[in-house]
Amino acid sequence: MPDDVIDGPLAVAAVVGAAGAIGGAIARRLCRSGMQVIPLDADNCDVRDPFSVSAAFARIERLDALVYAAGITRESVVWKLGVDDWDAIHDVNLRGAFLVLKEAIPILRRSGGGRIILIGSINGSRGKFGTAAMQNGDMVLWGMSVVAAAARATFAR
């Protein structure tokens, strides 16, 4: 992770997906940089459930950075991908990101701003055979990050 992503007066970061390989590595790196990290994963924040997400973020008083690294995939070509698999991918990768942003942004704003990092796959922009649902999700996640950034600029102090 580039140092400029975590340098500065940041104090508290929530890492969603902290039990996974990418989220765990990010959480450890942020801890080493001196930040207090709130690790969120399926055990304490089921991103598919708005009540679980709301409850997890209700306990957070200050937030200077949010990392959304939760994500799943079910690799399959479109004509063999089950609807349940499509829905599972989008429930975690997209709906989960939306639910987390919905709860985290007000805390970030009350804390004076901060950074939002949404992790997706490079396949959202270049494509990979057999990952249609994940690619679709990554493209939408990128769009969601652009909208969140624009909203942040509009409502910045």
Q: Where in the chain are the domains?
A: 9-155
The answer to whether residues 38 and 60 touch, using CB atoms and an 8 Å cutoff, is yes
Q: Range with the lowest mean pLDDT among 1-5, 59-63, 132-136?
A: 1-5
**For residue range 68-81, what is the model confidence (pLDDT) as tens digits?**
999 888 877 888 88
40 CA to centre of own chain: 10
pLDDT at 135 over 80: no
How many CB atoms are located within 10 Å of the residue 146 CB?
9
* Contacts of residue 21, Cβ cutoff 8 Å, sequence gap at least 6: none
Per-residue pLDDT, 120 = 81
Using a 10 angstrom Cβ sphere, with 0-12 exposed, 13-18 middle and 19 or more buried, the burial of residue 26 is buried
Residue 2 scores a pLDDT above 80: no
Residue 48: count of CB within 10 angstroms of its CB: 16
What pLDDT was estimated at residue 35? 93
Q: Which residue has the higher pLDDT, 140 or 88?
A: 88
Reading across the β-sheet that carries 12-16, which strands appear in turn?
36-40, 12-16, 65-68, 115-118
Bridge partner residues of 91 (DSSP): none
Max intra-chain CA distance, the chain: 49
Q: What is the average pLDDT score of the chain?
A: 84
User: Topology of domain 9-155, per CATH?
Assistant: Rossmann fold (3.40.50)
- Tally the C-alpha atoms within 13 A of residue 88's C-alpha that lie toward its C-beta: 9
The percentage of the chain sitting over the pLDDT mark of 70, rounded to a whole number, equals: 80
Higher local confidence (pLDDT), 146 or 136? 146
- Which residue from 23, 62, 13, 25 is spatially nearest to 43, judged by alpha carbons? 23
